[in-house]
Amino acid sequence: MALSILDAVTRELTLFAAIFLAVGGLDDLIVDMIFLFSCLGGGRRNQRIIAGDRSETAEYRFAIFVPAWDESAVIAPMLRSMLARWGDGPYRIYVGTYPNDPATIAAVLSLGAEDWRVRLVIGARPGPTTKADCLNVLWAALERDEAAEGEAFTAVVLHDAEDVVHPQELAVYASWVGTHGAVQLPVAPLCQPGSRLVSGHYLDEFAQSHGATLPVRQMLGASLPLAGVGCAIRCDVLRRIADARGTPFDATSLTEDYELGLRLRALGTRCAFVRVPERANGPPVAIRAYFPATVPAAVRQKARWMAGIALAGWDRTGWGQRWDLGDHWMRMRDRRVTLAMLVLAIAYAALVCWGLSALCHALLGGPPPAWDPLLAQLVALNLTLLGWRVAMRTALVTRLHGWREGGWAVPRMVVGNYIGLLAARRALWIYVRLLAGGPLRWDKTAHQFPSTPFDPQSAVA
């Protein structure tokens, strides 16, 4: 009787997981088909090549916002790298700090003494608050400077304290910001030494999202969520938002960058995800950075993303315009992640149950139960979709990072699933605490900056 119950539970778990995995797999397949169709149809004809000529930036003035809480270990080398890569130009770097973070303040002050373009801004409240709150402090400093100097900035560029900027980044913004309210560049994570699986799995996920999914969103005319780094937003657009709610960045949001992209869409502002090669057949102009190298740090980061986008973000942003089907589809994909983790957990449980069932039947000498045709067809469909997903992920990673990293894509999918399962549980608790009125704080991870400067010329296209 116990074995019969195990067989019945195994079948039901497998059927449930197979149905929802098939739905998710077909959803991903449609996105991939649209992306491949776009590539074959010359969908990148409008992506101009930036050949390194910075003269285009002369008519624009950029304010670089770098919020920094407890970043004394990375902020100085990051700023030096930024200044060296961008050289002279019409930009100013605003670094937001907190009065109870003297180490970061001292590091920024030392750079400010060397270069007047580094502007230290110390907020009034002790940290950490939220990243958006720190950005609002920087915005207030920018407006004070504009009033005092009588010269306006064109756009705000967002960066984190660990980012490796691209030398041609400002030139790309200058080419697009005149006709678009916001411009987002791809993010291409760097793999931390000694963390090929955990840190490396970010390479794969961003290769998928910024290599295929965001171009499809743009092709469909859906909202383009910003990544919070490597993006430029016109100051006049930010002022429209500030006029409506008091501040341009929502300090009550866990994922202010994601929600800002949706907000710009609601305002009717044109946004562009721009993937341009730095030279013919070269790598894209992209933002690079180390991502978490340990499982606990990765879980914390992804839990914040899940809670902010799939849970709290659903409450806060809704579904947009009624008949905007492409946007509804993309928002649904953003919010399916927590359900996908539940389905994945059930699928792994079903796999364990199948193993136990097979072992018990072998020990007792009885044949295992036969698969019914529906279940067999669903499992076959899911295996086919999994094969496609593996091939697509490997191709995208190889295209951006080379064949060595592409070879790691398959084992890192398992690691990504494990991290996602743990993050989903943590995200649920974060969301419950927020519903109960818990405090909203900047739950950031420790950062590192490459000791050896990254050379974009050596990257794979």
364-419 per-position pLDDT tens digit: 777 777 778 889 999 999 999 999 999 999 999 999 999 999 999 999 999 999 99
Question: What does the pLDDT read at residue 55?
Answer: 52
Helix axes 337-364, 2-40, angle to 10 degrees: 140
Report which of 233, 214, 229, 265 is spatially closest to residue 43, judged by C-alpha positions. 214
* Residue 432: pLDDT over 90: no
- 374-379: list long-range contacts, CB under 8 Å, 24+ apart: 374/15, 375/11, 375/14, 375/15, 375/18, 378/15, 378/18, 378/19, 378/22, 379/14, 379/18
Q: What is the value of pTM for the model shown?
A: 0.90
The CATH number assigned to the domain holding 101 equals 3.90.550.10
Mean per-residue pLDDT, 438-442: 74
Question: Which residue(s) pair with 91 in the sheet?
Answer: 62
Q: How far apart are CA 452 and CA 449, in angstroms?
A: 9
Mean of the per-residue pLDDT values for the chain?
Answer: 89
Residue 442 — pLDDT band, cuts 50, 70, 90?
confident
First to last CA, the chain: 59
| CA dihedral sign, ordered 395, 399, 400, 406 | positive
Question: What does the pLDDT read at residue 461?
Answer: 44
Q: How far apart are CA 23 and CA 28, in angstroms?
A: 9
Structural contact between residues 93 and 117, judged by C-beta atoms closer than 8 angstroms = yes
* C-alpha pair distances (Å), 325 with each of 26, 127, 220, 221: 17, 41, 9, 10
The model's pLDDT over 236-254, given as tens digits with 9 standing for 90+, comes to 999 999 999 899 999 888 8
Give the three-state DSSP class for 97. strand
Residue 52 — pLDDT band, cuts 50, 70, 90?
very low
Residue 46 — pLDDT band, cuts 50, 70, 90?
very low
Residue 62 — pLDDT band, cuts 50, 70, 90?
very high
Question: What does the pLDDT read at residue 454?
Answer: 59
Least confident of 1-15, 58-72, 257-271, 442-456: 442-456
Question: What does the pLDDT read at residue 51?
Answer: 41
Which range of residues forms the domain containing residue 122?
1-461
Write the Ramachandran bin of 107: left for phi over 0, alpha for psi from -120 to 50, otherwise beta.
alpha
Question: What does the pLDDT read at residue 50?
Answer: 47
Question: What does the pLDDT read at residue 225?
Answer: 92
Residue 451 — pLDDT band, cuts 50, 70, 90?
confident
Question: What does the pLDDT read at residue 58?
Answer: 65
Mean per-residue pLDDT, 158-162: 95
Question: What does the pLDDT read at residue 45?
Answer: 44
| Tokens of residue 145, six digits | 């400077």
Mean per-residue pLDDT, 417-438: 88
Question: What does the pLDDT read at residue 366?
Answer: 74
Domain tally for the chain? Answer: 1
* C-alpha pair distances (Å), 217 with each of 35, 210, 392, 411: 10, 10, 18, 28
The model's pLDDT over 164-216, given as tens digits with 9 standing for 90+, comes to 999 999 999 999 999 999 999 999 999 998 899 999 999 999 999 999 999 99
More confident site: 107 or 440: 107
Helix axes 409-435, 373-401, angle to 10 degrees: 100
